[in-house]
Copies of this chain bind each other. A is one copy, B any other.
Amino acid sequence: MPHTFDALIALEESLDSSGQHPAAPVVAGSEQGSGVTGPRTAVARTHPAWANMVGPYGGATAAQALAAVTSDPRAQGRPAALTLNFAAPVSDGQLSITVDPVRTNRSNQHWTVRVDQESGTVMTGTVLLAGGRETFSDTEAHAPHVPAPAEVDVARYSMNLPWTDNYVFRLVSGVPHRPSDSSETVMWVAQSQPRTWDHLSLAAASDVFFPRIFARTGAPSPAGTVTYTVYFHTGPEALAAQGENLLCRAQASRFHEGLFDQVGHVWGEDGQLLATTTQLVYFKGV
């Protein structure tokens, strides 16, 4: 059995209209900067292990969209940023992920991403790849001082959400079912089935926070991410060297008119800041 995450990100080449695999990527492109631009479509499928209440976990779809970029033969560099917009509910089944490297520069590469299903476009977004260079390095968002993972009880995150079984959650502060003056949550998150961390699994894991409205009011209310951003602060070697546990902290800045934002940070077990992540989330009245 492959790891549930490897099963999730296994993409197929898009078939052409005669049902055949095209011999080469479909690139109807032109030269811009140093690369060949043009759309290329890969096919992904939702995976039952990554199901949410309705449709798939958003972080799972984000990982599939990013995988369509990083597995494209034109990809240069490592993920530096992604912004994905959840335009409509993703249905269980097939996703057509169309990616286009619209601009390749010396130090970075800009991609657009679109995910289509039978119902139309369900996701839009952009991905930035960049090459790592030695420069001044410093961290200002320090990991909060918290007990080590072994000293924190494992939480049952939520009921009847298959995707949560892929992770082990250890809530340090800010729990979903108790009202609080602050929406801040701090938790350790590990993969249930250990797997070396990479940008794809970090893109999925940066969406593990339950909606901030639950932490603030203590009451679950319908809520869904509308736009999701991750800035990746380091390269593949540094990610692969991390231990299993990620320290995750998130808080809303403002709840207003049916929307709230979330600003989050994800650190490795060694305290290294791996990602800054933000969301804008729709919620139904409380």
Which residues of A pack against B, CB within 8 Å? 32-33, 80-81, 83, 85, 87-88, 102-103, 105, 107-108, 110, 112, 114, 120-122, 124-126, 128, 130, 132-141, 182-184, 213, 216-217, 226-227, 229, 231, 233-235, 251-259, 261, 263, 265, 273, 276, 278, 280, 282-286
| A229: chain B residues within 8 A (beta carbon) | 83, 229, 278
A254–B130 CB distance below 8 A: no
Complexed CA–CA distance, A217 and B216 (Å): 37
Complexed CA–CA distance, A282 and B285 (Å): 40
User: What's the number of copies of this chain in the assembled complex?
Assistant: 2
| A120: chain B residues within 8 A (beta carbon) | 32-33, 102-103
B133–A257 CB distance below 8 A: yes
Say whether chain A's binding surface is mostly helix, strand, loop, or mixed. Answer: strand
B285–A134 CB distance below 8 A: yes
| A130: chain B residues within 8 A (beta carbon) | 226, 257-259, 282
B278–A256 CB distance below 8 A: no
| Chain B residue at smallest Cβ distance from A217 | B136
Q: Provide a sorted-by-A list of 13 A–B residue pairs whose CB atoms are within 8 angstroms.
A: A32-B121, A103-B122, A128-B227, A128-B280, A133-B258, A137-B254, A137-B256, A138-B216, A140-B216, A140-B254, A233-B259, A254-B273, A254-B276
| A122: chain B residues within 8 A (beta carbon) | 103
A251–B103 CB distance below 8 A: no
